Amino acid sequence: MMGHVVNLLLEFVRENAGDKALQEVFEQANVEPASYRFEVIYPEAEFASLLAACIKVLGTTPGDAEIAFAEYFMQVSPRLFAAYFEVSPSTRLFLERLPELHRSLPKAASELPFRDKVSLLGARSDAIRLGYESPHELCKFFIHAIGLLFKYYGETGDCIELCCTREGAPRCEIEVRFDDEPVAAA
Ligand code: HEM
């Protein structure tokens, strides 16, 4: 997992529960307190341990944690990455470009191979189908963040999970349907 997301998760805990809770997360995860470098890819197992510790320390359910993290993620991302949001002026364009956006970030400094977790499986005039394949099974996070993306762009639509790895599917598949006409790329 790229350092950027690890840092966001840790900052999410610090903002919600304070420095002491963050320290507890490192202890519970059995990970040395560190700040993670934005573009470096860290072992997925380390992120998994930190994620499990965050859920425990925050005293929440995994599903509620995914939703709260999506809210935080979508609160900070448009500010941190204004340029990405500007060049993709609609929910659809943003999501169609998401795999490429993810792929472009870790190129410079990573030592481990990068594997796409989000992919574009298909597109119709009013909908797209996204694939999501990750050991962290954060599809609730993904779906909630897509809902917030609609809000961010002042658009409406809906999002249905067609199949889920938690129910034995090889990957999660999410159909996103758009009420609005497509907006041309900037
Ligand atoms: C400009 C904004 C964004 C940036 C900079 C960004 C960056 C990243 C990075 C660095 C990762 C980790 C990739 C890896 O190491 O595997 C990631 C994962 C992911 N992102 Fe984004 N992202 C952005 C926006 C979004 C949005 C808006 C959504 C959803 C609507 C989203 C959904 C996801 C998902 C589902 C994952 C995979 C999580 C996992 O299971 O590991 N991202 N993103």
Q: Which atom of ligand 1 is nearest to the CA of 146?
A: 30
pLDDT at res. 128: 98
74 lies in some domain: no
170 lies in some domain: yes
Residue 150 neighbours by CB distance under 10 Å: 20
Separation CA 38–CA 35 (nearest Å): 9
pLDDT tens string 95-119: 999 999 998 887 655 656 678 999 9
Domain end: 11, 41, 59, which one? Answer: 59
Residues 105, 52, single domain; the answer is no
CATH for 109: 3.90.1520.10
Print the domain residue range for 119.
Answer: 90-178
Phi-psi region of 158 (alpha: psi -120 to 50; beta: other; left: phi over 0): beta
The CB of 149 under 6 Å from ligand 1? The reply is: yes
Query: What's phi and psi for 57, nearest 5 deg?
Result: -65, -35
Residue 40 has pLDDT above 90, yes or no: no
55 lies in some domain: yes
Residues 167, 125, single domain; the answer is yes
Mutate which of 36, 74, 117, 172 for ligand 1? The one with the most ligand atoms within 8 Å of its CB, which is 117
Centre of ligand 1 to C-alpha 135, Å, is 14
DSSP state of 69: H
Centre of ligand 1 to C-alpha 8, Å, is 11
Q: Are 178 and 92 in contact (CB under 8 A)?
A: yes
The CB of 4 under 6 Å from ligand 1? The reply is: yes
Beta strands in 65-171 (DSSP E): 118-123, 127-132, 157-163
Residues 147, 95, single domain; the answer is yes
**pTM attached to this predicted model:** 0.94
Query: For ligand 1, atom 31, which residue shows the shortest CA distance?
Result: 142
- Total domains in the fold of the chain: 2
71 lies in some domain: no
Kindly indicate the confidence band of residue 21, based on its pLDDT and cuts at 50, 70 and 90.
very high
145 lies in some domain: yes
Q: Which atom of ligand 1 is nearest to the CA of 74?
A: 27
What integer best gives the mean pLDDT of the chain?
93
